[in-house]
């Protein structure tokens, strides 16, 4: 489950319901869209099936999507982590899972974890349909493999706001949400997304 993280074999990518091309750069005065991961660094298979609990780092961590008093939320209602951050394996080109995978049937609402500005919204290679949000603390959150998106570049969002629907686009073996938190907009600047959510009062 890779802006990412795990099956070792990829199924054909689901076509985007709304966009099939990489997102255009943001307007000159807007936050520039993050660069896509270099082709050679793109995950070979950053995800696992929604009901797969095998592989390194798999767990049944759950949490609620209700926004905290500070306005932060889990990325899905009743979030269930199926592959942990930094799970190791040859399935990922970086050698480890760069995000956390959440179980989600296709069409499950995907929620912004906190207030911020959308800096990327569209199809992005192995991540499929993704949304990247820059938060007020300068951190970035990424929501990948969505079936459809509800936001566009430059739009401001709040914690708990729906930004799309889960799916299996890009390099994915089944419907789920691949969620990352980064210090910058580019691939490779990942941090532990679950720890980040907990620091903001989200129970997982």
Half-sphere exposure of residue 189, counting CA atoms within 13 Å on the CB side?
16
88: helix, coil or strand?
strand
Rounded Cα gap, residues 98 and 91, in angstroms: 12
Nearest to 36 by CA among 170, 193, 196: 170
Extract the tokens encoding 203: 């129970």
> What H or E segment, with its residue span, contains residue 196?
helix 193-199
Determine which one of 97, 135, 176, 178 is catalytic. 176
65: helix, coil or strand?
coil
178 included as an active-site residue: no
Residue with tokens 């750069």: 25
Active-site residues, by number, are 176
């Amino acid at each position: 489950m890779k802006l990412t993280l795990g099956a070792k074999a990829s199924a054909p990518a689901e076509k985007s319901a709304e966009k099939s091309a990489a997102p255009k750069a943001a307007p000159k005065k807007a936050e520039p869209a993050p660069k896509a991961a270099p082709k050679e660094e793109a995950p070979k298979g950053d995800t696992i099936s929604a009901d797969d609990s095998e592989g390194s780092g798999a767990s049944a961590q759950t949490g609620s999507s209700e926004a905290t008093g500070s306005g932060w939320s889990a990325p899905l209602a009743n979030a269930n982590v199926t592959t942990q951050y930094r799970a190791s394996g040859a399935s990922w080109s970086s050698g480890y899972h760069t995000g956390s995978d959440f179980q989600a049937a296709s069409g499950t609402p995907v929620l912004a974890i906190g207030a911020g500005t959308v800096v990327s919204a569209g199809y992005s290679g192995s991540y499929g349909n993704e949304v990247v949000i820059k938060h007020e603390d300068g951190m970035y959150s990424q929501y990948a493999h969505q079936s459809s998106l509800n936001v566009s570049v430059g739009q401001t969002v709040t914690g708990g706001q729906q930004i799309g629907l889960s799916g299996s686009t890009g390099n994915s073996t089944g419907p789920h949400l691949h969620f990352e938190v980064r210090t910058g907009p580019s691939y490779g600047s990942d941090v532990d997304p679950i720890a980040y959510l907990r620091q903001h009062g989200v129970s997982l």
